[in-house]
């Protein structure tokens, strides 16, 4: 019997990460959920196992290189890595943005992705058919006012994806970048505005149907489950009501 392929998902405690874990498990992967919040990933792993699929949880901070290296020793071979951990802090203009926010966003979005990808690349290569997914953002492809450090960090992640693809061509590993636009998840905007739910709600005000975490998980799962010679380099996904980062149709 062939071994069940393994998929590691970072930032699996909520939102797109959690939805991707559920969908990849349903697609036949044994999913390894990582995030800092142990309780959440353990509960999600239990839910996935109860549904008859396979999941384990591993508490991990992707910015802690030592911990990431230790985590990676568990994998001789790995089919899929989904670099989802990251997020935004603040929406201040460049003139007044806090350098500490910029640093933290670079650390989680870019260095976190770098850490986990570097640590697991040998196992992905060893599998003979590995897939690295980098969840960037439309903020990684074009800027917008108040995007600040988030836009800068997501551009960094986009460049990481493009460069890695160039460098490892010829190895049995593909690099897929998924760049979502407006996605309404339970935490993204609330975290960005440090718990200010009013400001967070304004992001989605009057937008008929922003993307959901499941919509993005669906695109990730589709891209990952294409035959191995097919590389979805970059998949941009937005709600119909959003034509560009700043051009959004609102009914109110």
Give the x-and-dash track for 171-190 against ligand 8X3 (CB under 6 A). ----------xx--------
- Comparing CB distances to ligand 8X3, the nearer of 130 and 239 is 239
**Nearest distance from residue 210's CB to ligand 8X3, in Å?**
10
Q: Which stretch binds ligand 8X3 (CB under 6 A): 33-41, 113-121, 132-140, 207-215?
A: 132-140
Tell me the C-alpha distance between 234 and 110, whole Å.
Answer: 17
CB atoms within 10 A of CB 32: 26
Q: Find the shortest distance in angstroms from Cβ 186 to ligand 8X3.
A: 14
Looking at the annotation, which residues are catalytic? Answer: 150
Among 8, 35, 133, 139, binds ligand 8X3 (CB under 6 A): 139
Residue 91 CB, shortest distance to ligand 8X3, in Å, is 9
Question: According to the binding rule CB under 6 A, does residue 137 interact with ligand 8X3?
Answer: yes
Near ligand 8X3 by CB under 6 A, which window of 1-9, 114-122, 134-142, 193-201? 134-142
Sign of CA dihedral 24, 214, 143, 62: negative
Is the distance from CB of 213 to CB of 189 less than 8 angstroms? no
The answer to whether residue 63 forms part of the interface with ligand 8X3 (CB under 6 A) is no
Q: Which long-range contacts (CB under 8 A, 24 or more apart) does 167-174 make?
A: 168/121, 171/125, 172/125, 172/127, 172/128, 172/129, 172/130, 172/228, 173/121, 173/124, 173/125, 173/130, 173/131, 173/132, 174/130, 174/131, 174/132, 174/228, 174/231
Among residues 108, 138, 185, 219, the one that binds ligand 8X3 under rule CB under 6 A: 138
Contact 41, 108 (CB under 8 A): no
Contacts with ligand 8X3 by CB under 6 A: the residue count is: 7
- The yes or no reply on residue 245 touching ligand 8X3 (CB under 6 A) is yes
Residue 117 found at the interface with ligand 8X3 (CB under 6 A): no
Residues that bind ligand 8X3 (CB under 6 A): 137-139, 150, 181-182, 245
């Amino acid at each position: 019997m062939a071994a069940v392929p393994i998929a590691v998902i970072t930032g699996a405690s909520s939102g797109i990460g959690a939805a991707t874990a559920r969908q990849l498990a349903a697609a036949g992967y044994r999913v390894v959920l990582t995030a800092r919040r142990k309780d959440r990933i353990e509960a999600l792993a239990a839910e996935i196992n109860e549904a008859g699929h396979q999941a384990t949880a591993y508490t991990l901070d992707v910015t802690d290189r030592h911990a990431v290296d230790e985590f990676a020793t568990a994998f001789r071979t790995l089919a899929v890595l989904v670099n989802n951990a990251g997020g935004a802090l603040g929406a201040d203009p460049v003139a007044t943005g806090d350098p500490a926010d910029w640093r933290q966003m670079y650390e989680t979005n870019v260095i976190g992705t770098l850490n986990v990808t570097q640590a697991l690349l040998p196992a992905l290569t060893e599998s003979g058919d590995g897939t690295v997914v980098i969840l960037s953002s439309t903020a990684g492809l074009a800027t917008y006012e108040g995007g600040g450090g988030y836009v800068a960090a997501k551009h960094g992640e986009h460049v990481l994806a493009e460069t890695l693809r160039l460098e490892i061509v010829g190895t049995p590993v593909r690099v897929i970048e998924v760049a979502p636009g407006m996605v309404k998840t339970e935490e993204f905007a609330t975290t960005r505005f440090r718990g200010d739910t009013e400001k967070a709600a304004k992001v989605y005000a009057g937008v008929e149907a922003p993307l959901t975490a499941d919509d993005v998980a669906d695109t990730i799962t589709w891209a990952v489950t294409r035959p191995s010679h097919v590389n979805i380099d970059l998949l941009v996904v937005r709600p119909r009501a959003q034509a560009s980062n700043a051009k959004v149709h609102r009914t109110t």
